Structure 1
Amino acid sequence: MSFQNVYTLRKVAENAAKSCEVCFKPSSSVLITAENKDFFYICPSHLKDKGFASPVIDKAAEEAKKKKEEEEKEKKLKEEVERVKREYEEKKKKKEKEKKDGKDEKDKDKEKKKDEKETDSKDDKDKDDKDDKDDKDDKDDKKDKAPNTDEPRVFALQKFVYQQRLEKRRQIEIAKRNRERMAAPGYFPSVPKGAP
């Protein structure tokens, strides 16, 4: 009974950890086949060993991930453009309102200087707020991406290790068949009933 050499990494609760197949230390990481025919506990450090297993890269998943990241960037860019447009419209309305009020030129000059100082300070505050927001967004993005990018989820065992898993599975099947045969009533010979 064979199975494909494609194992998916799963995590179990810490209290359900069992010994690693290689080093026998408690591990909460499990490699399991798609059909659930074979599974074993393994330490995450062994998965990084190229002599044990190699990650399987799913190109479709990688492309979907890149596409999603590009869409998020475009969305942020559109939001930024909308924000800048609103600010520009507000400033434009403010200037038109000042023209309608018909203030003296001296008052206008004083207000312009004052507005420039205020806009500079507002721009500095906006930049600081924006930087803080970007930093928070970057941290959130890193938190979201960290579990997905730190370690791959699908592995292919090296040929030698895979052959060991197949052999172990065959031995389990043979032992199970032998137990069933031994439990059958006609397996052992009966005691002789006649005289010797």
Structure 2
Amino acid sequence: MPFENVYAHRKVADTAQKGCDICYRPTTSVLISDGPDGKDFFFVCPAHIKDRKFCSPIIDQDAVEARKKKAMEEELERVKKEYEEKKRKKEAEKKKKDEEKEKEKEKEKSGDKSKDEEKDKSKDKDNKDGTDEVGAGAKKSEASAATLEEEPRFFALQRVFYNQRLAKKREAEMARRNRERLQQPNLFPSVPKNLPGT
């Protein structure tokens, strides 16, 4: 076998795009296989790469486990930070409430209680709105990063397509050998120099 059935998915520049080997549409996606006799590569559309009847992804279990472990550690750090922030906020709110209680006692004496309650309610609403927006944005960015990393890079062609690639490689090798043979001067027999019967 000149090359293994392990193809890496690569992208080329838009100026170097060529027709897909299957549907002939211009594409920048290339599947490349390294082998001892050289590389086998062909252009293919991203839609064909996702098709399970054309090729199947080769998943590196060690890399997947390492990625999961890293994600768990990041999640743990994020949860710890959130917990610390909530704890600080609760402590700050407790101090604030204690101060407010002291102020209320003083204000009961003065009688300006109703104005301060309206101000506190508006501040609490503003704080709640701000924290919800920040948390949602962080979750969206994490989800988009996770989907980008999930895309596999190595594929194995289905048997029919892999055999086609092997046949094309063999045909190209035979054509190269035939061209070399035709260029050799001693390929064809030479004209006899002496006449027959003499």
Question: TM range, normalised to the smaller chain?
Answer: 0.7 to 0.9
CA distance in 1, matches of 2:185, 2:111: 110
In the alignment, what sits opposite 2:13?
A: 13
1:1-196 equivalences under 5 Å are 1-35=1-35, 37-94=39-96, 104=106, 106=108, 114=116, 118=120, 120-149=121-150, 151-190=151-190
Cα shift at 1:100: 9.0
Letter in 2 for 1:172: A
Q: For residues 79 and 107 of structure 1, do their structure 2 counterparts lie closer, same or farther at Cα, with a shift above 3 Å needed?
A: farther
Cα shift at 1:170: 1.2
> Unpaired segments of 5 or more residues in structure 2?
none
Letter in 2 for 1:64: A
Q: TM-score, normalised by structure 1?
A: 0.79
Corresponding residue pairs, total = 194
Letter in 1 for 2:130: D
Letter in 1 for 2:139: D
Cα shift at 1:107: 5.4
RMSD: 3.2
Letter in 2 for 1:129: G
Deviation larger for 92-101 or 161-170: 92-101
CA distance in 1, matches of 2:129, 2:114: 23
Deviation larger for 108-117 or 86-95: 108-117
CA distance in 2, matches of 1:109, 1:58: 71
> Unpaired segments of 5 or more residues in structure 1?
none
Letter in 2 for 1:16: A
Fraction of identical pairs, as percent: 47
Deviation larger for 92-101 or 63-72: 92-101
Q: Find the residue that maps to 2:31 and give its secondary structure.
A: strand
Q: For residues 96 and 52 of structure 1, do their structure 2 counterparts lie closer, same or farther at Cα, with a shift above 3 Å needed?
A: closer
Q: For residues 81 and 42 of structure 1, do their structure 2 counterparts lie closer, same or farther at Cα, with a shift above 3 Å needed?
A: same
CA contact (8 A) 2:107 2:113 kept: no
Letter in 2 for 1:127: K
